[in-house]
Structure 1
């Protein structure tokens, strides 16, 4: 709210017409509401990242196990 008031006063002091001042303030509010992350957005991102990391670690373990198993049997090893 302080930003809108300061912006309004600054634009009014240089004789910008009221409709244009309102348009500028509305545009800034719209941009700030869509461009900034809320606490809920960050919490959701953290949760999604945790889920991804768990899945990644499981996949990494499975690949490591498959690779180790494969290389113990040279006849089916991918690297040969």
Structure 2
């Protein structure tokens, strides 16, 4: 199985950059696991669209889109406290 490329839209990229270093390290490690199979890893489709997904990754809620033909996962929302 091919690994998907992870990319961030600007707002989630800013949220990721603002994370404490320890959280960001855990988050990045968990995102690499998600990149192996973005349809699993505890994710769920948003409504009826299998490619629009939500998951909790290292305690951070994310929403993302999967582009299977391009092997890309685009993170569009990051929520953490």
So what's the TM-score if we normalise by structure 2? 0.28
**Whose helix fraction is larger, Structure 1's or Structure 2's?**
1
**Whose strand fraction is larger, Structure 1's or Structure 2's?**
2
So what's the TM-score if we normalise by structure 1? 0.28
